[in-house]
A and B are shown apart, each in its own frame.
Chain A
Amino acid sequence: MRKNVIEIQNLTKQYGKHRGIDNVSFSVKEGEIFGFIGPNGAGKSTAIRTLLALIHPTSGSATIFGKDCIKEAPSIAKDVGYLPSETFFYEGMTVKGLLDYTAKLYQKDCSKRIEELTERLKLDTSRKIRDLSFGNKKKVGIVAGLLHSPKLIILDEPTSGLDPLMQDTFFEILKEENEKGATILFSSHILSEIQKMCDRVAFIKEGKIISLQSIHELRSSTYKSIQLSTKEPVSKQVFTLEGISEFKQQEEEISFMYNGNVNNLINSFSTLNITDIFIEEPSLEEIFMHYYQ
């Protein structure tokens, strides 16, 4: 059985009267790509910043590699790579100078890895940080976060500012790191990224975890997305079956979400003159909207 790399127990962080996170508990297994999803301000970054000892929890505990996140932060940091949503570095330094300094802080010779990553991301290391575009600064962040081949990679909205081609390269690099054994905690509000990358996902809303499921379970769970086309407009009264939600009708076109026995649903259609029917796993967007409405 794979051991837990991250374990969060009843973690709470309050900023005065403001809520940060409330009683958050979840764990991330070794080698897993774990998605952490929620709208802006839901508490994703607060949870991540507590894991990284940037902020201190009000109550609860969090461990990484079995070590206390706050008390043993320096020892944990040796094997953690962190990429924040917005990357900031010493503006007067060159990219090379910054990356060399980062490697020195990890007390490792990372020159080959730096060369490999900067080549793949097409990053000019001779330029000064202050002269770089937002996207290029992000690339520096990626290299700085991965140059020491960390065992745990924590990503907080990592793709903002990267063009689609670079996003693909970045995901490729992440998948390679994962295949080599790295565990990844991937926080995002972009569902397609989570869908593409993650094994399991935790939904966070207003500082609380509202659901924790595997991506497969989530999509193949009881919810189905149904789309119907009928020959003539149908009365809404036909769709009173328990489990139907988010019902939308535009004359002959009907769509809704269904949570329940599919046979009962099909039976309820027997009186309808159907020209087309789609029963699909809902997209994460639909699930997302379902959770957050």
Chain B
Amino acid sequence: MNIFRFEMKQYRGSILVWSIGLVATIILLLPMFVSLTGDPSATESLADNPMLDTMGISIDLFITTTGIFSYLNSIILVAAAIQACNLGLSIITKEHMQNTADFLITKPYSRTKIFLSKLMASLCVIAIIGICYFLASFVTISMISEQGFSFSHFFQIYLTFPLIQLFFLLLGIMISTIVSRVSAPLPLALGISFGFYVIGLFSNVVQSTIARLFSPFRYFDFNLVLASENYEAGYITLFFALLLLFFITSYITYIRKDMKMVL
């Protein structure tokens, strides 16, 4: 518990900044987009918009508040991915960058315990941010939906936020256990997240199912969720298989790793 508490304390500022940023984004943008698209002529003007096609967004989404939320959410997911990937990259590598790995590992805690404490702390960080985002989204959408909204649709779209965070967190942790010394985790997190996002956009443009496999952003098709209230089983299986792969690889690498000497 001591390592967990210590890590949580270290990330207080980060939790606060990211939560405020994401909450403010959804509170400000959702009502604004809903009011803009309330006018049918505005929605019509968006028809056959290549940008929306690239993003995999159907014009039909703009008819409902949940649809508009799903559009904004698909953009916010990039920020969520950056935050989670940065957290995953830094929570292990910071010990190597500050040369404190020796200090921690020579204390009476097994590497399994250290790894799990850090993993739990990072999961808590993304959970807190995820809950803040959920509350802000739910309250905002409840307030602006005059004719009510489908909670089930809303929740399934929202759920992509913590799921994408989880994916990029575990991916970041896996990279950090393999590489050890990452001097600038944020630019790397930006690169990884945008990289996957661009692959997702590319898969939309060329309608390639193979390219889609390489972008977690495209594992959840919002159009399909809104139409059928379901994720696609194949992609969900792949998603969780990758999470498991990231976790197992990170854990085994961390347990077996030689801690490099400070020179």
Q: Which A residue sits closest to B109, measured CB to CB?
A: A74
Docked complex: A97-115 residues within 8 A CB-CB of B: 101-102, 104-107
Q: Is A21 an interface residue (CB 8 A)?
A: no
Q: How large is the interface on B (under 10, 10 to 19, 20 to 34, 35 or more residues)?
A: 20 to 34
Q: Which residues of A are found within 8 Å of B108, using beta-carbon distances?
A: 74-75, 77-78, 105-107
Q: Which residues of B are found within 8 Å of A194, using beta-carbon distances?
A: none
Q: Which A residue sits closest to B256, measured CB to CB?
A: A56
Complex contact B2–A105 (CB within 8 A)? yes
Q: Is A166 an interface residue (CB 8 A)?
A: no
Count contacts between A and B, CB distance < 8 Å: 60
Q: Is A247 an interface residue (CB 8 A)?
A: no
Complex contact B105–A53 (CB within 8 A)? yes
Q: Which residues of B are found within 8 Å of A102, using beta-carbon distances?
A: 107
C-beta contact mask, A45-81 vs B, less than 8 Å → 1, else 0?
Answer: 1000100111110000000000000000111011010
Complex contact B109–A105 (CB within 8 A)? yes
CB distance from B176 to the nearest CB of A (A): 18
Residue in contact with A77 in the complex, picked from B99, B101, B107, B262, CB distance below 8 Å = B107
Q: A45–B106 Cα gap in the complex (Å)?
A: 14
Chain B interface helix/strand/loop/mixed: loop
Complex contact B98–A101 (CB within 8 A)? no
Q: Is B36 an interface residue (CB 8 A)?
A: no
CB distance from A17 to the nearest CB of B (A): 15
Q: Is A88 an interface residue (CB 8 A)?
A: yes
Q: Which residues of B are found within 8 Å of A105, using beta-carbon distances?
A: 2-3, 107-109
Q: Which residues of B are found within 8 Å of A56, using beta-carbon distances?
A: 256, 258
Q: Is A84 an interface residue (CB 8 A)?
A: yes
Can you list 21 residue pairs at the A/B interface with Cβ under 8 Å? A45-B261, A52-B102, A54-B102, A54-B105, A54-B106, A54-B259, A55-B259, A56-B258, A73-B110, A74-B109, A74-B113, A77-B106, A78-B108, A80-B106, A84-B102, A88-B102, A89-B100, A105-B2, A105-B3, A106-B108, A107-B2
